[in-house]
Structure 1
């Protein structure tokens, strides 16, 4: 049957990077199982169990599955209703010298859980450099526009001015929190190791005739072969699903950051102050040919919402485990773990693409400032009049009346804001008529925003990105669609 005739998740078929889609593919999953069985056999042989060199050699030669291997496993699973035993059977078919010792002493979670931990580790290793790259690019953007004054918003109403670069630093700071969270989740990962059916290692103690030291050494050897620094000292049949929740929570938090940034960019696009990249032949609307829709940012918000909500699944799955384990975690983890990593990867590709080509429109930004700045500048006018001997209360009252008159012209008649012209004509403000324009300079309204940008980038950002310096990419991620 053609792939066009069956449902495929858009995460892998439409959006994801090749390397992340491959990490969570069936081929990688079952190859990793075979690799784990090989490591177990190698360690058991090293510790004296009767496993032949031929068995090890045959296992090593057939780590990659063929189409026939998949067919054999599928047929066996159909009969046995057990995926792990189906693949033990399929592996034994191509490595007959090892057929009797594959999975020796292990439970299903030896391969399934340890493989998942390997995927969590490799997935985070893929994501972290991409996140560092986005932060690096956005930091350069922030420095470039550190002085460009723009309207700030509180309650989504015009507020004191900030700068384009300072606003970008708000996004960067949240991304730095995500970098910290994902790094911690990566560094905290351990290995389930060789623990047996309920985590007591009883089966391996039996194999080694009660030799506790050899059982501990087996656990250590397999953990080392898998590339982990340590194994969790306590497990049940599974590693604690708290670990999944911990990792997915960090990814979900990043999903919320992506939504936040995407939302700001969509609002800025609507006001025509800033836009995401728009390609030469890109179509914004099938009906309205003039449109330049912020489709990247909208996709970022959409997928960020999906990723944010996966945290609830992970927490529910953890809390629903009974005693040493229940199998109600299996199906949902097969969906949620790949989904969380694929979605995070896609969001980073979108973010990279967007921040690599942000378009700023200073003329529009300046026009919008001029529309609102007269109202914001009134405090400066009042303070200057007081400095020259006027009553603050009198100055405040005159400004209040003139502001309401100007506001009515804007709101009721659609005219330009003429508050400054009214002030320049009002006799009360004669002493500062010559200073009005200088008191209206946008640069005097942004406070320490430019200095904050430089200090933030030079200290916090530089320190956070130092471990990733060699892995930061200058290339621009291409979006699949």
Structure 2
């Protein structure tokens, strides 16, 4: 049946990169299983079991599942109702000398869990350089605009000004926490290892005729071949699904960051202060031709929301396991694990594209700041009056009256804020008239925002330290095609 006639997930059809899709493909899944069977057979042979050189060579020669093998696997699975045994059968057909020893002593979770751990490790290694690139791009943006004052908002209301660069640093700081979380999730991964049907290694103890040392060596050898620094000492039939909770929690947390950053960009776009990239022939609206909708940031929020909600599936699956394992985890994990990584990958493609070409409109930023600045300057004016010997209480009352008058003009009549003009016409304020240009300078309201950006982004500082291991590829990371 043509793919246009059946449902396909937008995560593969529209949003994620080719390399992430390939990592969670059926070919990679089955090929990883074959690698695990090869490593098991090699290790068993190294420890003295009767496995021929021919068997090992045939297994090595047919590691990657070929196109003509998928129908065989599919037919065998339909017959046996067991995907692992279908793959064992198919492997035995192309490596007949190994047919009798493939999966020797193992349980299905040896390959399914081992393959999932390999996929999660490799997927995290794909995501981390992409995230580092986003942070690097935002760092350059923050440095370029560290001195540009803008109106800040608390409670959704105008607040003491900050700078555009400082706001970008807030995004960077959250992304650095995500970088740390994803690195920890990867570095904390441990292999399930060679543990047998319920984790007791009974089958392998039998194969090695009661030799505990060789069973332990087998576990260590396969773990090393799989590229993991260590394996769990204790497992049931599966590795604990708590691992999935930890990994997907880190991804879900990143999803929250995506929605948070995307929301800020969308709000600034609504205020006409900032725009995401917008191509020459891009259409913002089918009806309103003038519109430049923040489609990428909206999609970022949408996919971030999908990603952050995946943690519920992982938690529910872990908590629903009984004793040594139940199979109600399987179908859920086949969806939750790949789609969590595909969603994160899609978010990073968007973030990379957006942060590479953010557009600012300083004149609009300045205009909005000036609309609110007179009210914010009232405390500075009052303090300057006190320095001239004027009573604070008197100054407060005079400022209060003029502020309310100016606010009424703005709110009731839609007129510009004329507070400063009122101050300049009121004799009471004559002592500070010469100081008004300084008292109204936007940069005098941003405190140490610029200096904080400099300290945060300085060469060798905390941002650079976090990105150090990714430095060589910051400008070379493949991010996948962006579909809009």
TM normalised by structure 1 equals 0.99
Deviations 1:266-324 (A, max 9, x none): 00000010111111110000000000000000000000001001111111111111111
Partner secondary structure for residue 279 of structure 1:
coil
Q: How far apart, CA to CA, are the structure 1 residues paired with 2:23 and 2:39?
A: 20
CA contact (8 A) 1:284 1:293 kept: yes
Partner secondary structure for residue 288 of structure 2:
coil
Partner secondary structure for residue 298 of structure 1:
helix
Any stretches of 5+ residues in structure 2 without a counterpart? none
Pairing 1:239-258 to 2, within 5 Å after superposition: 239-258=239-258
Q: How far apart, CA to CA, are the structure 2 residues paired with 1:137 and 1:447?
A: 25
Deviations 1:53-72 (A, max 9, x none): 11111111111212221111
2:323 match = 323
Q: How far apart, CA to CA, are the structure 1 residues paired with 2:478 and 2:322?
A: 46
1:121 match = 121
1:471 aligns with 2:460: no
Q: How far apart, CA to CA, are the structure 2 residues paired with 1:40 and 1:13?
A: 36
CA contact (8 A) 1:353 1:476 kept: no
1:282 match = 282
1:31 match = 31
Deviations 1:205-226 (A, max 9, x none): 0001001111111111111111
2:154 match = 154
Deviations 1:221-240 (A, max 9, x none): 11111111111111100001
Partner secondary structure for residue 150 of structure 2:
strand
CA contact (8 A) 1:15 1:480 kept: yes
The structural deviation recorded for 1:188 is 0.5
1:392 aligns with 2:395: no
Partner secondary structure for residue 252 of structure 1:
helix
Q: How far apart, CA to CA, are the structure 2 residues paired with 1:476 and 1:313?
A: 30
Q: How far apart, CA to CA, are the structure 2 residues paired with 1:177 and 1:250?
A: 10
Relative to structure 1, the CA distance from residue 91 to residue 186 in structure 2 (aligned partners, 3 Å threshold; closer, same or farther) is: same
CA contact (8 A) 2:130 2:477 kept: no
1:266 match = 266
CA contact (8 A) 1:352 1:476 kept: no
Q: How far apart, CA to CA, are the structure 1 residues paired with 2:268 and 2:257?
A: 17
2:59 match = 59
**Count of aligned pairs:** 481
Partner secondary structure for residue 411 of structure 1:
helix
CA contact (8 A) 1:356 1:476 kept: no
CA contact (8 A) 2:133 2:477 kept: no
The structural deviation recorded for 1:94 is 1.2
Q: How far apart, CA to CA, are the structure 2 residues paired with 1:37 and 1:198?
A: 19
2:173 match = 173
CA contact (8 A) 1:110 1:192 kept: yes
Q: How far apart, CA to CA, are the structure 2 residues paired with 1:39 and 1:429?
A: 85
Partner secondary structure for residue 20 of structure 1:
helix
Q: How far apart, CA to CA, are the structure 2 residues paired with 1:140 and 1:161?
A: 21
TM normalised by structure 2 equals 0.98
Q: How far apart, CA to CA, are the structure 2 residues paired with 1:273 and 1:475?
A: 29
Q: How far apart, CA to CA, are the structure 2 residues paired with 1:462 and 1:16?
A: 28
Partner secondary structure for residue 161 of structure 1:
strand
Q: How far apart, CA to CA, are the structure 2 residues paired with 1:426 and 1:82?
A: 88
1:198 aligns with 2:198: yes
Partner secondary structure for residue 309 of structure 2:
helix
The structural deviation recorded for 1:154 is 0.2
Q: CA RMSD in A?
A: 1.0
Q: How far apart, CA to CA, are the structure 1 residues paired with 2:334 and 2:77?
A: 17
The structural deviation recorded for 1:171 is 0.4
Any stretches of 5+ residues in structure 1 without a counterpart? none
1:401 aligns with 2:401: yes
Deviations 1:138-157 (A, max 9, x none): 01110110000000000010
1:221 match = 221
The structural deviation recorded for 1:435 is 1.6
1:89 aligns with 2:108: no
Q: How far apart, CA to CA, are the structure 1 residues paired with 2:5 and 2:397?
A: 72
Deviations 1:72-93 (A, max 9, x none): 1111111111110111111111
Q: How far apart, CA to CA, are the structure 2 residues paired with 1:390 and 1:280?
A: 59
1:336 match = 336
